[in-house]
Chain A
């Protein structure tokens, strides 16, 4: 178990950039998703075909899930980012099932990049929805004393987001590798089934947490009394509570 098993090994160099298998696999996943998206949405018709029904079903389900967490006016704005998170993380997780291919999400650099994007997008959507002053002011609510704790919470939940996905996928692949080395060639098959379930669950968790963070940034919390005109949705409240539990 070398270091390249945990972080992607360098496949080649592109100028000064060292291209690891994580990046290469990510490009493969991106190519696959781009082709799939193009095929699914080729010649859309008012009366949907089977493949169009699949595409519409995926988008409609994601849109409905996002609509339960963020205000209706922000759903279409948030949808591309959150839906892409779900789809990419799921595809990246499942890429580990291909023999000889490592899932990009078992690389901390990749999960950290996704977590950093979630961190950035949370503030981006929050500032766009509420304005910079109002958004920054919510860190001082209900009391300015809580400002350091809010900042620590922001950083730790982002770190937890990256570590959670990385740890689960990495440990899963590691377990499968160990079983393959110890037990034989066909024994890891049940473990691969567990891999599928784990891939789906981790993708769902990652996307839901990102959605909750973004929803919490867009909508004011219960203690944000400075803006009484903004209603507190149950989804946002639940997101904050989940966030607190996650941090604890």
Chain B
């Protein structure tokens, strides 16, 4: 076991030179490559983390947007249902109103038809009643009844109101100078009765009017006096017709 100082010193120098050589040609280039690769990996990892974070953020935004859309859709659906309900209610109300109107019209039509029918029945009943009354009065009619009615006519002419008297006078004035009052009688009149009628009519008309008498059995009993355009009804037929008209108006 020998120790050589020259070898010792040379070995020290050799090793230091070797350290420099390996550092220059091995460690530094490899470490540089490793560092750059590590830096690139870290950069890519950071970028991946950033992309992942952005993805998570976008996913969260998408989820929030979906939730917002769902909420808006629900609100729109509720609004649509509300509008449909309102439209349905309005339509139902309109239909009810229309039905009520139609019901009212139907009621009115029914009432009118019923009233018309009732009026027709009344008219029919009245007509039947008048026909029966006329038949009965024809059986009761007699010259005496005609004379009685003439007396009533004369009494009414004497107490004729002024308005009716003026109308009668106006009709008489429109007659020609030889104008006559035409008298239709249900029964033959005697001369005395005819003269009484002529006097009564002349007094009411304000001028002298001769009368011509004709027979008209349709009058049942009584007379009808025509002075121009003015008619004086004093017979059962016209009375029945008058009552019939009055009843029809009622």
Contact = CB atoms under 8 A, between A and B. Distances in A.
Given A6-B1, A109-B11, A37 B21 contact: yes
B15 interface: yes
Interface in B2-42: 2-12, 14-19, 21-23, 25-27, 29-34, 36-37, 40
B15 A88 contact: yes
Nearest to B10: A23
Nearest to B25: A37
Contacts of A18: 4, 6
Chain B binding surface SS class? helix
A243 interface: no
Contact of B34 (A27, A60, A104): A60
Interface residues of B, number: 33
Interface residues of A, number: 47
A191 interface: no
Nearest to B35: A76
Contacts of A109: 2-5, 7-8, 11
A27 B14 contact: yes
B30 A41 contact: yes
A44 B1 contact: no
Contacts of A84: 15, 18-19, 22-23
Nearest to A19: B10
Given A30-B14, A104-B11, 8 more contacts: A27-B14, A30-B17, A34-B21, A79-B31, A80-B19, A80-B23, A81-B19, A88-B15
Interface of A: 3, 6-8, 17-20, 22-23, 26-27, 30, 33-34, 37-38, 40-41, 44, 46, 48, 52, 55-56, 59-60, 63, 76, 79-81, 83-84, 87-88, 104, 107-110, 112-114, 116-117, 166
19 contacts: A6-B2, A7-B2, A20-B6, A23-B10, A27-B14, A30-B17, A34-B22, A37-B25, A41-B25, A44-B29, A46-B33, A46-B37, A80-B19, A84-B15, A84-B23, A108-B1, A110-B7, A113-B7, A113-B15
